Structure 1
Amino acid sequence: MKTIGHLVRVFLLFTIASCSSVRVVKTEPGANFALSNYRTFAFSDIESTGDVPQSGFYRSQVDALKTAIEKQLASKGLRRVDTQPDLMMNIGIAVDEKTQTRETNIRTDPPFYIGQRRYTWRSQEVPVGQYRQGTIDVHLIDPRRNEMVWRGIVEGILPKKPEKLQKQIDEGMEKLFARL
């Protein structure tokens, strides 16, 4: 009976984890990379592409992203400095407008008229909605060697409400830096 209860808890945990709208696309550690070799970090310029508005809201979200990253790195023993860092952090942000589609199907979307001899029916992609997808690409650079030592990419569908976006940023950075 304990085994069944344990299996149910594990299944629920995986179900809840799979409902997250943020996913880590990939992480790439450099050769011989060990985070324990570094004690300090600093942010370099942030690059953004796509449908990213250059507004006060965008800048506040970039600051929130930096705060979330700083929190994750502090939990791993690193501290932020302004001069002579052991690691430099490059961040790339891309936001793209996407169209959600569904494919028509002969079984669920039958043609209305079938009287012609050479009638053909083709499946097609039908747009059903619009959404914004954000991707954050984080590079850790060793400034002494001028070499990238770690890279991580996380992406997710951006919510419309700012408070949900903040929660999603925190969740994404937590997932990403858990793989560091």
Structure 2
Amino acid sequence: MIIRFAPPLFTLIVLALAAACSSSSRPLVADTDYDSQYDFSRVRTIAIAPLDRTTAEAVSISDMQVSRINQALAQELQARGYQMVPDAGEADLLLSWHLVVQDKTDVRSYNSMSYYNCWRCGPPVSDISVYRYQQGTFIVDLIDPVRNRSVWRATIQSRLHSEPDPAQSEVRRTEAARAIFAQFPPRPADAPTAGPAT
């Protein structure tokens, strides 16, 4: 029996939203939930809340990385017609995001043939590969500042992979932000596409 350990790949620039796009060709899809009683048609302005630095993941993220994530999210919202404002007091909704990282193990077993005396085939030998990796969950909340509670949430999960190319990281951040807000604002399946109020 052979046991192989694959070291975890952890690059914060990937963890910070860019890694939400894995190397897989499958399109990103975010899971969303929202308060059906909230009137999203009234939303015009959104402000980004400061990152909560009390978690280990947040402490490890640099200010530059936070800025890149904020920029990707803000640009996607602006493309959808919303105005980003710096003052939370002027915002209809507050955007808050955070990360959750979990250590995972993937065990795979293979059968291989054993040969001896140069020609004689022996019984199959188990070949077990143990891959240790980290799974990241990127969570975005839109918070009603009046009630101080989330009225919309989107999450993306992915294995974390190293992405040393800054240009490719930017592309993946953009794609992940687009996936996060793909179903915002929420609407009934039979309703026309809604946008910010004018």
The answer for unaligned runs of 5 or more in structure 2 is 1-23, 116-123, 185-198
Please tell me the residue identity of whatever aligns with 2:95.
M
1:94 equivalent in alignment to 2:100: yes
Tell me the percent identity.
26
Deviation track 1:106-135 (CA, whole Å, cap 9, x = no partner) reads: xx24689xxxxxxxx9x786224x544332
Please tell me the residue identity of whatever aligns with 2:48.
F
How much is the aligned-residue C-alpha RMSD, in angstroms? Answer: 3.2
Please tell me the residue identity of whatever aligns with 2:40.
L
The one of the two structures with greater contact order (alpha-carbon pairs below 8 A, sep at least 6) is 2
Give the count of matched residue pairs.
149
Paired with 1:125 and 1:46, the residues of 2 have a C-alpha distance of: 41
Deviation track 1:68-105 (CA, whole Å, cap 9, x = no partner) reads: 11111112221111132110111112344545x34214
1:147 equivalent in alignment to 2:149: yes
In the alignment, what sits opposite 1:32?
Answer: 37
Ranges of 4+ aligned residues in structure 1 off by more than 4 Å: 48-53, 96-99
Paired with 2:64 and 2:102, the residues of 1 have a C-alpha distance of: 19
1:7-156 alignment, distance < 5 Å: 19-20=25-26, 23-47=28-52, 49=55, 54=60, 58-81=62-85, 82=87, 83-99=89-105, 101-105=106-110, 108-109=111-112, 126-128=129-131, 130-156=132-158
Paired with 1:42 and 1:144, the residues of 2 have a C-alpha distance of: 14
Cα deviation, residue 67, structure 1: 0.7
Please tell me the residue identity of whatever aligns with 1:39.
R
Conserved 8 A contact 1:51-1:96 = no
- The two structures have a TM-score, normalised by structure 1, of 0.66
The answer for unaligned runs of 5 or more in structure 1 is 1-17, 113-120
